[in-house]
Structure 1
Amino acid sequence: MMEKKAVVGETDMLQAMQKDALRLAGKALDQYDVTESTEIARFIKKEFDQLYGQGWQCIVGRDFGCFVTHQCGCFIYFTIGTLSILLFRGAVASEEEMGRQIVMEPVQP
């Protein structure tokens, strides 16, 4: 089982959800070659959508950078061998939070 070789880098998921992520990644790697990163990502994303509801995103690869906003409790980044996997459920800022993000320019006298 590939999930036993997984190394979790960052997560805020509950243990049960983490186990599902690792199990599904192992299952995907049993079905697809490591070079088929898009198919691996699609498999994990669709399974998580079925288990935990819509809105999951999955990025799989050997070298990538990212900056995402995620729902609390819905983020994991782990590696299996040389393959890195980022799985998260997207989040949208509320209008109140967006209002706080607006940068106000000084008023000209």
Structure 2
Amino acid sequence: MPEYEMIYGAKVKTPIDMPDNILKDCIAFSLNALKDVPADDDDQIQQIIQQIKEHMDENWEPTWHVVSGRNFGSLVTHQAARFVYFYVNDRAVMIYKT
């Protein structure tokens, strides 16, 4: 199994621990939100990350967490089948529910 796969327009870390309908929605929303943001505009990126979190909370019940950056590590505890880590261009995005 490859470490990453191109799914719904994003480079997604495998294995994937999220149902397809939620995965498709969170990737589509994230791609659309981040598509025109300059990589070095941290203030705008923070606002968009908040919008992604609010979108996930509204559409898939709270409580979701969204982390984004170009170089970070993580160790998180999450609800089963509610975690995804993917890349939009050179920006990593991690979305999970607790």
Q: TM-score, normalised by structure 2?
A: 0.80
Unpaired segments of 5 or more residues in structure 2? 1-6
Q: Aligned residue for 1:7?
A: 11
Q: Aligned residue for 1:18?
A: 23
1:88/1:15 Cα in 2 relative to 1: closer, same or farther (>3 Å)? same
Question: Once the 2 structures are TM-superposed, how far is the Cα of residue 13 of structure 1 from its aligned partner?
Answer: 0.5
Please tell me whether residue 55 in structure 1 is matched to residue 60 in structure 2.
Answer: no
- How many residues of Structure 1 are paired with residues of Structure 2 in the alignment? 88
Question: Once the 2 structures are TM-superposed, how far is the Cα of residue 58 of structure 1 from its aligned partner?
Answer: 0.2
Q: Aligned residue for 1:85?
A: 93
Between Structure 1 and Structure 2, the one with more helix by share is 1
Q: Aligned residue for 1:101?
A: none
CA RMSD of aligned residues (A): 1.7
Identity %: 27
Task: List structure 1 runs of 4+ shifted beyond 6 angstroms.
Answer: none
> Which amino acid letter does the alignment assign opposite residue 93 of structure 2?
I
Question: Once the 2 structures are TM-superposed, how far is the Cα of residue 31 of structure 1 from its aligned partner?
Answer: 6.0
Question: Once the 2 structures are TM-superposed, how far is the Cα of residue 82 of structure 1 from its aligned partner?
Answer: 0.2
Distance in 2 between residues matched to 1:63 and 1:31, nearest whole Å: 20
